[in-house]
Structure 1
Amino acid sequence: MKRIITFGTFDVFHVGHINILERAAQYGDHLTVGVSSDALNFSKKGRYPIYPESDRCKIIRSLKFVNEVFVEESLEFKKKYIEKCNADILIMGDDWAGRFDWVNEICQVIYLPRTPSISTTEIIEVVKSIK
């Protein structure tokens, strides 16, 4: 059985999220998704997600091609998460290209293209500008 792992915030869920998760699932038999905690998102982006981690996990868990979901507490634990899940392949969006090559010693790393013209940050900015 080939096990896949990926990570993300998955805030303001959109078709780009579905696309990358669906494509990631096609690389193996079991897809595990690490959803960034609210605190981790704040440390990375300087803002909390729109939706709390419990809601974001519930959304991801509801997808038929996702087998397992956990809360990612720290970027420094990436290797531990991969080992704990016995992942064969780490899949990330190509906006992270090269940034996770250091885990190649324990699993294959694949960067998939993002869905063009859609991002959570852009959606949030558009919504904020409508008044």
Structure 2
Amino acid sequence: MKKIGYTTGVFDMFHIGHLNVLQRAKLECDYLIVGVTTDELSIQAKGKKPIIPFQERLKIVESIKFVDEVAPQVNYDKMEAWNNLKFDRMFVGDDWKGTEKWTKLETSFKEIGVEIVYFSYTEHTSSSILRKVLENMYKEQS
């Protein structure tokens, strides 16, 4: 039976860490669906607008050969995502492992046969680090 995988992210300033997560996720499933966070959700949840606009981030992620389908992520309700997409595995960063929210989700997902797979992030590269570097470069030039 075909295993459907699901992962999400903002994917702002797409970098090797993003690519590694998508590649690893695809190795763990037959069909990979990626939720790309909308600008509105990012602003609401993180208090900052992504540098790369949503439609461009969507197109970038869509172009990755490991990605079979892209869906806008308009909220963080993973059960709603499952109801819409019916995935078998969800891939997420290991910084969430053991948190109250994800422990509850593991229990709920287990009841419907969904496995959560935790991946370690690429520590030396992140969009947050890239954002800081850009802000510092901008400050130096002004």
Moved over 4 A (4+): none
The structure where helix makes up a greater share of residues is: 2
The aligned runs of 1:74-89 (5 Å cut-off) are: 74-76=75-77, 78-89=78-89
TM-score, normalised to structure 2's length? 0.87
Percent same amino acid among aligned pairs?
36
**How far does residue 127 in structure 1 lie from its aligned partner after superposition?**
1.1
Give SS of 1:118's match: coil
For 1:87, the aligned partner's letter is: F
Q: Residues of 2 paired with 1:68 and 1:54: CA distance? A: 15
Partner of 2:7: 6
**How far does residue 86 in structure 1 lie from its aligned partner after superposition?**
1.4
Partner of 1:97: 97
Give SS of 1:13's match: coil
Give SS of 1:7's match: strand
Give SS of 1:116's match: coil
**How far does residue 83 in structure 1 lie from its aligned partner after superposition?**
2.6
**How far does residue 84 in structure 1 lie from its aligned partner after superposition?**
1.9
**How far does residue 26 in structure 1 lie from its aligned partner after superposition?**
0.5
Unaligned runs of 5+ in 1: none
Q: How many residues align?
A: 130
TM-score, normalised to structure 1's length? 0.94
Unaligned runs of 5+ in 2: none
The aligned runs of 1:27-106 (5 Å cut-off) are: 27-76=28-77, 78-98=78-98, 99-101=101-103, 102=105, 103-106=109-112
Q: Residues of 1 paired with 2:4 and 2:83: CA distance? A: 11
**How far does residue 116 in structure 1 lie from its aligned partner after superposition?**
2.0
